[in-house]
């Protein structure tokens, strides 16, 4: 019993530590606070998170997860409609968007090509991307600097070539093997600023 509880605590702490703005130390502080105030803080927070999870829907335009359809990024009139940033997962979208690093809108592919995991082109929403290029001047490919990320970026760039839209890719700043989700805002901002044509 003690071991299992210990594992649950450890798991919660690790998950909290992965939240934006939290490191291992602050995650421990947050967890302790939640445990100390179970009735007043932890229970209502869990209920709110469950409600969010139940209300969450995939945006039919960009595949982002939100509680509104289309998502609030797609309907935000302050965003530049000529810029489209392609990411693998919702986590990457949120990482790029949490500091408003990208002024345009997004398209979530739903994964990365991977022979190992059996993910082929048909499993990625490239068709949805190709269908929403009207009025778009530049597509920014923001993939992880991993083999899968770069293979996927290459594949998407090839599919975009015939459309004539300008395609660029994150450049310096994303370390080899780096996952966008784990980069700090400064590194992400630099990678976007220094994007290069494909």
Among 31, 71, 139, 141, binds Zn ion (CB under 5 A): 71
List 176's β-bridge partners, or say none.
none
Candidate ranges 23-31, 56-64, 111-119, 186-194; the one touching Zn ion (CB under 5 A): 56-64
Helix, coil or strand: residue 188: helix
Query: Binding residue for Zn ion (CB under 5 A) from 16, 27, 31, 61?
Result: 61
Distance of alpha carbon 187 from alpha carbon 66, whole angstroms: 26
State in angstroms the smallest separation of the CB of 90 from Zn ion: 10
Among 16, 27, 59, 191, binds Zn ion (CB under 5 A): 59
Does residue 141 contact residue 167 with C-beta atoms inside 8 Å? yes
**Residue in this structure with the two tokens 């000529």, named with its chain if needed:** 82
| Residue 62 interacts with Zn ion (CB under 5 A): yes or no | yes
Number of Cβ within 10 Å of residue 180's Cβ equals 23
Dist. CA 44–CA 46, nearest whole Å:
5
> CB of 157: closest distance to Zn ion in angstroms?
22
Query: Taking CB under 5 A as the rule, does residue 85 contact Zn ion?
Result: no
Binding residues (CB under 5 A) for Zn ion: these are 59, 61-62, 64, 70-71, 74
């Amino acid at each position: 019993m003690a071991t299992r509880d210990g594992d649950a605590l450890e798991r919660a702490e690790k998950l909290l530590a992965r939240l934006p703005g939290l490191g291992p130390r602050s995650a421990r502080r947050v967890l302790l606070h939640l445990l100390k105030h179970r009735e007043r803080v932890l229970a209502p927070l869990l209920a709110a998170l469950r409600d969010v999870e139940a209300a969450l829907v995939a945006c039919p335009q960009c595949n982002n997860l939100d509680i509104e359809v289309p998502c609030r990024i797609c309907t935000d009139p302050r965003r530049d409609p000529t810029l489209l940033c392609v990411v693998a997962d919702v986590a990457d979208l949120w990482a790029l968007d949490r500091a408003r690093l990208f002024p345009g809108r997004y398209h979530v592919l739903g994964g990365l090509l991977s022979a190992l995991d059996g993910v082929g082109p048909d499993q990625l929403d490239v068709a949805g991307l190709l269908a929403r290029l009207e009025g778009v001047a530049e597509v920014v490919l923001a993939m992880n600097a991993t083999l899968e990320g770069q293979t996927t970026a290459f594949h998407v760039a090839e599919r975009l070539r015939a459309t004539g839209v300008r395609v660029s890719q994150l450049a310096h700043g994303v370390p080899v093997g780096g996952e966008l989700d784990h980069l700090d805002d400064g590194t992400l901002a630099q990678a976007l600023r220094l994007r290069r044509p494909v």
